[in-house]
Amino acid sequence: SAVISQKPSRDICQRGTSLTIQCQVDSQVTMMFWYRQQPGQSLTLIATANQGSEATYESGFVIDKFPISRPNLTFSTLTVSNMSPEDSSIYLCSVRTSGDTGELFFGEGSRLTVL
Protein backbone atom coordinates (compact mmCIF):
# COMPACT_ATOMS: atom_id res chain seq x y z
CA SER A 1 0.00 0.00 0.00
CA ALA A 2 0.94 3.66 -0.15
CA VAL A 3 0.02 6.75 1.82
CA ILE A 4 -0.26 9.82 -0.37
CA SER A 5 -0.38 13.37 0.92
CA GLN A 6 -1.65 16.06 -1.37
CA LYS A 7 -1.77 19.79 -0.79
CA PRO A 8 -3.52 22.08 -0.94
CA SER A 9 -6.68 20.13 -0.24
CA ARG A 10 -8.72 22.97 -1.66
CA ASP A 11 -8.21 26.48 -2.95
CA ILE A 12 -10.09 29.32 -4.53
CA CYS A 13 -8.14 30.99 -7.30
CA GLN A 14 -8.49 34.01 -9.51
CA ARG A 15 -8.71 33.72 -13.28
CA GLY A 16 -5.31 34.02 -14.94
CA THR A 17 -3.27 32.86 -11.96
CA SER A 18 -1.40 29.58 -11.56
CA LEU A 19 -1.43 27.07 -8.72
CA THR A 20 0.95 24.24 -7.91
CA ILE A 21 -0.31 21.07 -6.27
CA GLN A 22 2.12 18.89 -4.37
CA CYS A 23 2.01 15.12 -3.97
CA GLN A 24 4.17 13.28 -1.43
CA VAL A 25 4.24 9.48 -1.14
CA ASP A 26 5.48 7.60 1.90
CA SER A 27 7.50 5.14 -0.20
CA GLN A 28 9.38 5.09 -3.47
CA VAL A 29 7.07 4.36 -6.39
CA THR A 30 7.79 3.92 -10.05
CA MET A 31 4.44 4.94 -11.49
CA MET A 32 2.87 8.25 -10.50
CA PHE A 33 -0.09 9.80 -12.26
CA TRP A 34 -2.14 12.99 -12.22
CA TYR A 35 -5.89 12.82 -12.79
CA ARG A 36 -8.67 15.37 -13.07
CA GLN A 37 -12.21 14.73 -11.97
CA GLN A 38 -14.80 17.33 -12.91
CA PRO A 39 -18.07 17.39 -10.99
CA GLY A 40 -20.16 14.32 -11.65
CA GLN A 41 -17.74 12.99 -14.22
CA SER A 42 -15.22 10.24 -14.66
CA LEU A 43 -11.56 10.35 -13.81
CA THR A 44 -9.49 11.72 -16.68
CA LEU A 45 -5.78 11.02 -16.84
CA ILE A 46 -3.78 14.21 -17.39
CA ALA A 47 -0.29 12.73 -17.49
CA THR A 48 2.16 10.20 -16.16
CA ALA A 49 4.87 11.83 -14.08
CA ASN A 50 8.25 10.36 -15.00
CA GLN A 51 11.18 10.61 -12.62
CA GLY A 52 14.09 12.40 -14.24
CA SER A 53 12.38 13.11 -17.55
CA GLU A 54 9.45 15.00 -19.01
CA ALA A 55 5.95 13.84 -18.14
CA THR A 56 3.91 11.88 -20.65
CA TYR A 57 0.72 13.81 -21.44
CA GLU A 58 -2.59 12.41 -22.60
CA SER A 59 -4.49 13.73 -25.55
CA GLY A 60 -5.96 17.13 -24.78
CA PHE A 61 -3.40 18.06 -22.13
CA VAL A 62 -0.20 20.01 -22.79
CA ILE A 63 2.89 20.83 -20.79
CA ASP A 64 2.42 24.60 -21.05
CA LYS A 65 -0.93 24.36 -19.31
CA PHE A 66 -0.10 21.56 -16.86
CA PRO A 67 3.65 21.52 -16.16
CA ILE A 68 4.67 18.57 -14.00
CA SER A 69 7.80 17.96 -12.01
CA ARG A 70 9.04 14.70 -10.54
CA PRO A 71 12.44 15.25 -8.94
CA ASN A 72 12.49 11.87 -7.15
CA LEU A 73 10.51 8.66 -6.61
CA THR A 74 8.41 10.02 -3.74
CA PHE A 75 7.37 13.50 -4.86
CA SER A 76 5.66 15.25 -7.75
CA THR A 77 4.00 18.57 -8.48
CA LEU A 78 1.31 19.57 -10.94
CA THR A 79 0.85 23.22 -11.87
CA VAL A 80 -2.40 24.46 -13.36
CA SER A 81 -1.36 27.52 -15.34
CA ASN A 82 -3.30 30.59 -16.41
CA MET A 83 -6.45 29.23 -14.82
CA SER A 84 -9.96 29.76 -16.11
CA PRO A 85 -13.28 28.72 -14.56
CA GLU A 86 -13.20 25.61 -16.79
CA ASP A 87 -10.23 24.40 -14.74
CA SER A 88 -12.40 24.17 -11.62
CA SER A 89 -12.09 20.52 -10.72
CA ILE A 90 -10.62 17.99 -8.34
CA TYR A 91 -7.03 17.08 -9.16
CA LEU A 92 -5.86 13.70 -7.90
CA CYS A 93 -2.39 12.28 -7.55
CA SER A 94 -2.19 8.50 -7.79
CA VAL A 95 0.50 5.85 -7.65
CA ARG A 96 0.90 2.23 -8.58
CA THR A 97 3.19 0.38 -6.22
CA SER A 98 3.63 -2.96 -7.94
CA GLY A 99 3.82 -3.98 -11.56
CA ASP A 100 1.80 -2.78 -14.51
CA THR A 101 -1.51 -4.18 -13.27
CA GLY A 102 -1.28 -3.31 -9.59
CA GLU A 103 -4.01 -1.29 -7.99
CA LEU A 104 -3.88 2.48 -7.99
CA PHE A 105 -3.72 4.37 -4.72
CA PHE A 106 -5.06 7.91 -4.69
CA GLY A 107 -4.29 11.03 -2.75
CA GLU A 108 -7.22 12.83 -1.18
CA GLY A 109 -7.40 15.28 -4.04
CA SER A 110 -7.10 19.02 -4.44
CA ARG A 111 -10.38 20.80 -5.09
CA LEU A 112 -9.78 23.95 -7.11
CA THR A 113 -12.38 26.62 -7.71
CA VAL A 114 -11.50 29.31 -10.25
CA LEU A 115 -13.48 32.53 -10.10
Partner 1 sequence: GQNIDQPTEMTATEGAIVQINCTYQTSGFNGLFWYQQHAGEAPTFLSYNVLDGLEEKGRFSSFLSRSKGYSYLLLKELQMKDSASYLCASMDSNYQLIWGAGTKLIIKP
- Contacts with partner 1, residue ranges (CB under 8 A): 40-45, 92, 100-101, 103-109, 111
- Cα–Cα distance between 45 and 42 in angstroms, integer? 10
Minimum separation from the CB atom of position 103 to partner 1 (A): 4
How many alpha carbons lie under 13 Å from residue 61 in its C-beta half-sphere?
20
Given a contact cutoff of 8 angstroms between Cβ atoms, the answer to whether 2 and 95 are in contact is: yes
Beta carbon nearer to partner 1, 28 or 56: 56
Beta carbon nearer to partner 1, 38 or 82: 38
Beta carbon nearer to partner 1, 92 or 112: 92
Minimum separation from the CB atom of position 65 to partner 1 (A): 21
Burial class (CB in 10 A: 0-12, 13-18, 19+), 4: buried
Minimum separation from the CB atom of position 16 to partner 1 (A): 27
Given a contact cutoff of 8 angstroms between Cβ atoms, the answer to whether 83 and 11 are in contact is: no
Beta carbon nearer to partner 1, 14 or 42: 42
Return the closest-CA partner of residue 114 out of 78, 88, 81: 88
Minimum separation from the CB atom of position 14 to partner 1 (A): 23
